[in-house]
Amino acid sequence: MEIRIIREKVSTDELKKMTEESFLDFVKAVVDVKRGLLALGGELHSDAEALLLQDSSNQQDLWGINIFPEKPEQERIEFTSLINIRPREGNKSMEVQSEEIRRKIKEIVNRLVV
Per-residue pLDDT tens over the stretch 79-91: 999 999 999 989 9
Confidence of residue 114 (pLDDT cuts 50, 70, 90): low
Give strand pairing partners of 68: none
Q: How far apart are CA 35 and CA 14, in angstroms?
A: 22
The pTM assigned to this predicted structure is: 0.95
Q: Compute, in degrees rounded to 10, the torsion defined by CA atoms 7, 13, 50, 62.
A: 60
Question: Is 70 exceeded by the pLDDT of residue 32?
Answer: yes
Q: What is the pLDDT of residue 21?
A: 85
Q: Is residue 3 within 8 Å of 39, Cβ to Cβ?
A: yes
Half-sphere exposure of 12 (CA within 13 A, CB side): 2
Per-residue pLDDT tens over the stretch 48-64: 999 999 999 999 999 99
Q: What average pLDDT does the chain have?
A: 94
Confidence of residue 13 (pLDDT cuts 50, 70, 90): confident
